Amino acid sequence: MLSSVLGSPRAVQVNVEIMRAFVRMRGLLLDLAALAARVEELENRCEGRFGEVFEALRELLRAGESPVERIGFRKDPP
C-alpha cells in the first residue's frame, strides 16, 4: 500500500511488480483449476482403466491444498 502512495520512481516500480505478481498468481490458480477439470473429464472418458494414474494425479493436485497456519494474536494458546 505504501508503494502506491509514495511518488518515487522506485515505489512506482515496486507497485507495478506487485500487481504483476498477483496477475501471475491468478493465472496459476486458473491453470490448476483447468487441469483438475481435464483430469476429471479424462477419468470419466476412460471408465476407470487408469485408476492408479488418476489417483496419483489427484494426490499431486491435493499437495497444493495444505492448510495455512494463521498468524497474529490468539486468545487461547495452542
Q: Is the pLDDT of residue 78 over 60?
A: no
For 7, the 3-state DSSP assignment is coil
- Does residue 76 have a pLDDT over 60? yes
List Cα–Cα distances, 24 to 16, 17, 28, 62, 64, in angstroms.
12, 10, 6, 20, 16
Predicted confidence (pLDDT) per residue in 2-61, tens digit = 666 777 888 888 888 888 998 988 888 888 888 888 878 887 787 667 777 777 877 877
DSSP 67: P
Q: Taking CA 71 as the corner, what is the angle to CA 36 and CA 23, rounded to the nearest 5 degrees? A: 40
Q: Where are the domains of the chain?
A: 2-63
What is the model's pLDDT at position 30? 82
Is the full-model pTM beyond 0.75?
A: no
Return d(Cα 24, Cα 52) in angstroms, integer: 32
